[in-house]
Amino acid sequence: MRLIFVVARDQLARLESLRASLVGADDVLIVVDRRDGQRRLAEVGHLTEQSTGDRRVGERRTTGIDGSLRAMGWAVVEEVS
């Protein structure tokens, strides 16, 4: 099992701190959140289209890390293999 630490874009100091703290940990990956805020906001509108039966519409990935990124500046998830 590998853990992925996702750090908010505006928390670069936290990114460097995590990298320093976890140096040498082979089972850890630290990345900056690459999602585009504008796209995420636009996807909310697609949620209403999901009720029409078109399963291809909307975001398929549900990680639930948005709250952690806003509150703490980082989140951790398990890598799915």
How does pLDDT run across 44-77, given as a tens digit for each residue?
555 544 455 555 555 555 568 888 999 999 999 9
Domains contained in the chain, number: 1
* Rg of the chain taking only CA atoms, in angstroms: 15
How does pLDDT run across 1-57, given as a tens digit for each residue?
899 999 999 999 999 999 999 999 999 999 999 887 655 454 555 554 445 555 555
Please state the pTM of the whole predicted model. Answer: 0.66
Domain containing residue 41? 3-78
